[in-house]
Structure 1
Amino acid sequence: MKNGKLLLLICIVLTGVRPVNSQTKPGDPSWNYASAKKIMTDAYWQLWNADVQKKIDKDIDLYRKSDASLSFADAAPGTEVRIEQISHDFIFGANIFNYDQLGTTERNRRYKELFGTLFNSATIPFYWKKFEMEPNRPRFKQEYWDTEQYWNAVKKPKDEPHWRRPAPDPIVEFCISRGIRPYGHTIAWGNPKWQHPEWLYEQFCPKNEKEKLAKFTKEELGKLTAKEISALAPEYVAAVGRAFDKRVEELAAYYGDKVPGWDVVNESAVDFHGNAVTGDVITNSRYGNLLPGDYTNRTFRKANEVFPKNVSLNINDYANNQNYTDQVKDLLAKGRRIDIMGSQMHLFNPQQCLDVAAGKEIETPEIVWDKMKIMSQAKLPIHLSEITITAPDDNEKGRNIQAVIAYNLYRLWFSVESMMGITWWNIVDDCGAPGEPTTSGLFTRNMEPKPSFFALQKLINQEWVTSLTAKTDQNNKVDFRGFKGKYRVTWKARSGEYREEVFSLNKHGDGFK
């Protein structure tokens, strides 16, 4: 501390912070929550009633704020002290899958500006299928086809094989330069469409083993035991296991703790209590392909061996049910280190959001509380790692429905004790994966802000930021209660010199060490 003059009676270190941009516009004067909320039905407000809102407010104050007591030895009683929050402890993130891919330099500039102003975390794509299109050739570094120049000239970006799959190195460096938490997604996932490379089978399964496996239909193969499959294709079984281990080892060796958090395994609860048994070398995954036996347990074990201890090792799933929670508890009982439990919420179908506005029981407060209660059994911080809220129509009414739903759900999620972060999935319209809604962004395809953007900005950069001016009391102290995060304090000392200090107000357990 500077000259030892400022005594902070709170001294918990904060990590993963984001700079609050004081230049961020306060919001669109043409949109405000009080007016927009009228678009929702009475049935909706019966679910989101005054008692619910009071509970949310109470829990936000209880779980997202902390008390501070500052003592100023070099200041006289009555000295004016300026206290400004400069970053959040809580994670507000988005995926950054369209880095330099939006077609113009201006769109890309606006896109990047969101990270470090609205978002303090960026989920970076490491999907194996496009990250390593050929064996032993991982796409860490930017090549010409990853550059802004390349994408600005592309007429049909969605037809490109690496659409939404940019090279990660430039993004990691960008995040570090902005003080943003880079987050890797995902190391292991059984999904053959988006993650599992075809070359695993093509290259590593010998001809004689392919011939044996080809005698079985997909349904017949799915009924074979791990022992029977191992007898049919022992070389391939061993090769798949080695490939999974090698992928973990390469990512850990390359990035170390430069990427401080990873989804180690994604959406694997579908295989829990299925055919994957600890000790088996292969499993008939419910994704319809052959994976290392108990690949979730195996991948976490390997990750804990090779990643630095200050890197967060996390699990992620859409299940949000008892089976997923039981899987996590089972992994913890096996001695696996899991730092954060990821949860997803996707309102992909526009009709779902119309139904929400109509008051149907979809993602109501009670439903959310029940899900979080089940997941909290694992006693881990929860990251709402992927969310999608679709504008049911691409017009003013539809966009306002999206904004009101987002505003209320973010408030609810922010109030949950075990929640450590919320990550919006696709922030630009028509930039999701095939089959995902085209109007689920916070921005139009031309990077024009929608009401949902202003709704989140109102919460994150206005309502959930603590800034105040106070005067020291007779004991030269200032007490206040504020949102958890990093603060800057400025005051005038007895000498006439202006002093400034930065301190951290409480740290919520987000898995970072």
Structure 2
Amino acid sequence: MYYEQDFLKNFRKYEAYTEDRVALGIEQYRKGWGEITVVDGEGNPVPDAKITLSQQSHEFKYGCNLFMLDELETEEKNGLYKEYVKGISNMATLPFYWNATEPEEGKTRYAKDSPRMYRRPAIDLCMEFCEENGIEPREHGLAYPHFFPKWLQNASEKEVKKQFEKRCKEIAERYADRINCIEVTNEMYWGRRYFKFYQDPTFVEWCFKTAEKYFPHNELAINEWGVVWVDEKIRRGYYDMIRSAIQSGARIDAVGLHYHMFFKEENALKATEKYYDPKNLWDTMDLYGRLGLPLQISEVTVPAYSEDEQNEQLQAELLRNVCRIWFAHPNVEQIIYWNPVDGYAHGAKPGDMEKGENVYYGGLIRFDMTPKPSYYTFKELFEKEWHTEAEVSTDGEGFALFKGFYGDYTMIVEANGKETERKIKLGKELYNKYKIEV
């Protein structure tokens, strides 16, 4: 059985090292100080004012993909899906696959009423959900060889580039001011062999230079398959590809790293040894950190392989361990779990747990829409363990300090017999000084 194998041995081996880096990293990189000054209507300092601070959201981005929005079999399931996604997300990945957004030349599927396609809800539908629920959308797959449209597969390189520019222009016109993170290329090191267009050695820099024309104010991300964590040759190759593209004038703002444990159960212990090695995880992030760019843990799957209770508990423990390491690293800015619900993964029909990526039982929620321990683990890290509730009082000069996780807060000041409420933002790059009149 999966749970009977020792997947946690390296976490135990490097426990002291990990706990030290996690504790120091979180304090140094995920939290900051805020300065509060309370004055009366004439500008005089108010001493002994009681200040209560309650964190409402994180600056750090976390969430899952939104590929099954309104795609489930019943309205009840669709409703639960939305509630569960809202419960673990301030960011969601949207399916901008070219073969899904433009399955036929000139016939796009951005509008909410577009023809349905499995695991590819219309982008406007996804945008509506995100904007209604305070979730930041993340574009996925502007250039992605695995999901290249059939109608372009035999086209000349000149024609493909023309169509790609058109695609960038259309997406920018609809979404550039509503989606900050634009994933320009995905799996270009690991998967670039599929079509001639993707084999040009200057392809990555060309894509980023083209994207920059249409998304001049957006964060442009590169993304790559998770083997970069464990294969030294590919790890260095991806690093060198990014550095070379930047040196050639490409503007790459963030580096994406997948983390899918897509291995057969019988081979999983050996195959995941480096993935579940804290020292290796730190070393990999430290390497890419040398680029001076944010890192995005862009696609995460930790399998359970079944609904066995102990398997699910192991899934939750492994997820907790890796999330703590990622969250503590100074360069990481996102953790995006991939498929939130079992039974709706790539390569299989809904509910067929013997085909495609369904076999891994890698969701946080079971097919019957009941949450697994891993769902609560992921949720509670951000809502409880990495969460600030604070009470402070002003000194004789009306001044108070507080330390908290970066994010949005509700602040209530009690002074002179009344309460004053304010919304404030504690940010890594912000001034973080607040003057409150009561």
* Bin for the TM-score computed over the shorter chain: 0.7 to 0.9
What is the aligned partner in structure 2 of residue 182 from structure 1? 137
* Cα offsets for 1:18-51 (capped at 9, x unmatched): xxxxxxxxxxxxxxxxxxx999677355335244
Q: For the structure 1 residues 354 and 187, does the alpha-carbon distance in structure 2 shift closer, same or farther, using more than 3 Å as the test?
A: closer
1:418 to 328, 331, 336: 331
> How far, CA to CA, are the matches of 1:245 and 1:68 in structure 2?
44
Distance change in 2, residues 1:41/1:329 (3 Å) = closer
AA partner of residue 497 (structure 1): K
For residue 470 of structure 1, report the CA deviation from its aligned partner: 2.1
Does the residue aligned with 2:397 lie in a helix, a strand or coil?
A: coil
Aligned to 2:79: 109
More displaced stretch, 453-462 vs 398-407:
453-462
Tell me the distance in 2 between the aligned counterparts of 1:426 and 1:376: 27
User: Are 1:256 and 2:176 matched, yes or no?
Assistant: yes
- In structure 2, the CA distance between the partners of 1:419 and 1:457, relative to structure 1 (3 Å rule), is same
Q: Match for 1:64 among 23, 30, 33?
A: 30
Q: Which residue of 2 aligns with 1:199?
A: 151
Report the equivalent of 1:46. Answer: 12
| Inter-partner Cα distance in structure 2 for 1:461 and 1:492 | 25
* Counterpart AA for 2:259: M
How far apart, CA to CA, are the structure 1 residues paired with 2:375 and 2:217? 33
Contact 2:157 / 2:196 at 8 angstroms: preserved in 1? no
Deviation at 1:399, TM superposition (A): 0.3
Question: CA-to-partner distance for each residue in 1:301-360, whole Å, 9 max, x for gaps?
Answer: 1111112x332211111253111111111121122222211111111125389628x994
Given candidates 432, 449, 452, the residue that maps to 2:371 is 449
- Where does residue 172 of structure 1 map in the other structure? 127
Is the Cα–Cα contact under 8 Å of residues 93 and 121 in structure 1 kept in the other structure? yes
Q: Which moved more, 1:443-452 or 1:246-255?
A: 246-255
Q: Is it true that 1:286 corresponds to 2:193 in the alignment?
A: yes
Q: Is the CA contact 2:7–2:273 (under 8 Å) kept in the aligned structure 1?
A: no
2:415 aligns to what?
A: 493
Q: Identity, % of aligned pairs? A: 30
TM-score by length of structure 2 reads: 0.87
Q: CA deviation at 1:268?
A: 1.0
- Tell me the number of residue pairs that the alignment of Structure 1 and Structure 2 aligns: 407
CA distance in 2, matches of 1:117, 1:196: 33
Match of 1:324 in 2: 238
Q: Report how far residue 480 of structure 1 moved.
A: 1.8
Which consecutive residues of structure 2, in runs of 5 or more, have no partner in the other structure? Answer: 229-234, 348-355, 431-438
Whether 2:318 is the aligned partner of 1:405: answer yes
SS of the equivalent of 1:372 reads: helix
Secondary structure at 2:25 match in 1 = helix
Give the AA of the match of 1:72: V
1:126-152 deviation digits (Å, cap 9, x = unpaired): 111122111001101133743xxxxxx
SS in 2 for 1:262: strand
Contact 2:69 2:126 in 1 (8 A): yes
TM-score relative to the length of structure 1: 0.74
**Contact 2:208–2:250 at 8 Å: present in 1 too?**
yes
Question: In structure 2, do the counterparts of structure 1 residues 361 and 331 end up closer, same or farther at CA, with 3 Å as the change threshold?
Answer: closer
- Match of 1:133, SS? coil
Question: Equivalents in 1 of 2:266, 2:127: separation in Å?
Answer: 35
Q: Is the 8 A contact 2:109 2:115 kept in 1?
A: no
Identify if the C-alpha distance between structure 1 residues 332 and 72 changes in structure 2 by more than 3 Å, giving closer, same or farther: same
* Contact residue 325 and residue 377 of structure 1 kept, 8 A: no
Q: Secondary structure of the equivalent of 2:141? A: strand
2:214 corresponds, among 290, 306, 310, to: 306
Amino acid at match of 1:316: N
Q: Matches of 2:166 and 2:421 in 1, distance apart?
A: 48
2:301 pairs with 352, 364, 388, which one?
A: 388
In terms of mean alpha carbon deviation, does 165-174 or 496-505 score higher? 496-505
Give the corresponding residue for 2:110: 140
- Equivalent residue letter for 2:136: R
Q: What is the rounded CA distance, in whole Å, between the counterparts of 2:150 and 2:99 in structure 1? A: 8
Structure 1 residue 404: deviation in Å?
A: 0.3
Pairing partner for 1:126 from 70, 75, 96: 96
Task: Give distance in 2, aligned partners of 1:468 and 1:38.
Answer: 42
Q: Is the 8 A contact 2:102 2:108 kept in 1?
A: yes
Query: What SS does the aligned partner of 1:114 have?
Result: helix
Contact 2:63 2:89 in 1 (8 A): yes
1:258-302 alpha-carbon deviations (Å, 9 max, x no partner): 22221111111247xxxxxxxxxxxxx522544473322222111
Q: Secondary structure at the match of 1:287?
A: coil
Residue in 2 that maps onto 1:6: none
Contact 2:6 2:269 in 1 (8 A): no
**2:305 touches 2:311 (CA, 8 Å); kept in 1?**
yes
Shift of 1:257: 1.2
Where 1:432 maps in the other structure, the secondary structure is: coil
